[in-house]
Structure 1
Amino acid sequence: MHTASRVYAMLGNETLWDAALASHAVLGAAGLPHAVLGGVAVCLHGYRRNTVDVDLLVRSGDADAIRGALTYAGWRWDADQKEFDSPAGIVLQFLLAGDKAGAGSEVRLPDPADEESVTQIEGLPVLTLARLIESKLACGQGNARRMHKDFADVVELIAMHKLPRSFARKLHASLRPAFLELLDRVRS
């Protein structure tokens, strides 16, 4: 299996990987809990997939400290979009712990300091496979424009990890039927 850094090099997107590492270095040095989610997390969990931005899960109470640390490190804050641009132009978007994982969802994004929800992969804090799949399912169910991309990520993660039906128990009860339907489709 290729590492995520190797995948982004093959895809010609090393600057995205560099931005993920650099943002982690800055926030880690400042002692600010954070976790990678979204497309980079999907890649870190083994599905080779490209993306155009880095999504980070953070705490809302850390916003000022995050803004200060990244600005000091040379990142540019875009107040209109509520995101940062790396010195190389890679977008860093934030999702907030405790917010709904998808429109109308019962599922809330976990605290990035929760050791049960975050693991280390290739030196980066990333949502565990269960929390990542949960966030993808919740987001896909709540947004028709994102559904196909998010559900495709879940399908590929199911196939890559050969997830069993019992994996559904690790997910929020409201998402289990969608997970099982996708699992059945992968197997058929």
Structure 2
Amino acid sequence: MNTPASSLPDLSRLRGVVAAEILAAAEVASLMLREAGVPHALAGGLAVGAYGYPRTTDDVDFLVGDEAFVRHAGNLITLKVPLIAVGNVRIDMVPIGSSPEEKEQLRPAIESAPESERIPIVPLTALVYMKLKASRQKDLADLVELLKRGRIDIDGIDRYLEQHAPAYRRQWARVKEMAAKEE
């Protein structure tokens, strides 16, 4: 099934909204992770913006695989790429959880992520899953705004959650209700 171009992530949507140094930091960090062989995909506020609700953010979030970490004796875990910031921009590496459900939902998101400007971005299904799981007010507000802008295939997400993450269906229903009330 071909994905319509309008539903693909596009980092150009962020220009003029997100500071140039944030976008540059995302590019540098992604290149470093790619060169180190770390599967990754842009997540968080920048991913939300790439899908159609550009908003300001002060950091760069990447969903990363286990390959981002080095395990040492004594249960010590360090970063394979010791990347904390690019300039004054914080880089956050969000690991895929260890539960089978988490791996099932998010591993494909870093292995076959769509790209914009050579930066992999989590697929929309994974972004919705991550936002519902985080469940903070700003995460749910991001989903409401994407819904209001017609950027989410509601039926597709309904099917995805039914098949892969039924525990989040009720919360998704509330998000859809909030979006409908605000339209």
Q: Does 1:150 align with 2:157?
A: no
Tell me whether 166-175 or 149-158 shows the greater mean CA deviation.
Answer: 166-175
Where does 1:63-142 land on structure 2 (aligned, <5 Å)? 63-64=69-70, 67=79, 69=81, 71=82, 84-86=84-86, 88-99=87-98, 108=102, 110-111=106-107, 113-115=110-112, 118-140=113-135
- Where does the alignment leave 5 or more consecutive residues of structure 2 unmatched? 1-5, 72-77
- Which residue number in structure 1 is paired with residue 23 of structure 2? 17
- Which residue number in structure 2 is paired with residue 78 of structure 1? none
What is the number of residues matched between the two proteins?
A: 161
In structure 2, give the amino acid aligned to 1:187: A
Q: Offset at 1:133?
A: 0.8
In structure 2, give the amino acid aligned to 1:92: I
1:100-145 Cα distance to aligned partner (Å, 9 max, x none): 7xxxxx9626125432xx22233211111111011001101xxxxx
Among 61, 66, 78, which residue is 1:60 paired with?
Answer: 66
- Where does the alignment leave 5 or more consecutive residues of structure 1 unmatched? 76-83, 101-105, 141-146
In structure 1, give the amino acid aligned to 2:21: T
Check whether the contact 2:45–2:55 (CA below 8 A) recurs between aligned residues: yes
Where does 1:10-49 land on structure 2 (aligned, <5 Å)? 10-11=16-17, 13-49=19-55
Q: Sequence identity, in percent? A: 25
Check whether the contact 2:148–2:179 (CA below 8 A) recurs between aligned residues: yes
TM, length-normalised to structure 1: 0.73
- Cα distance in 2 for residues equivalent to 1:12 and 1:153: 15
In structure 1, give the amino acid aligned to 2:120: P
Of the two structures, which has the highest relative contact order with CA contacts closer than 8 Å and spacing of 6 or more? 2
- Cα distance in 2 for residues equivalent to 1:124 and 1:138: 24
TM, length-normalised to structure 2: 0.75
Q: Offset at 1:28?
A: 1.1
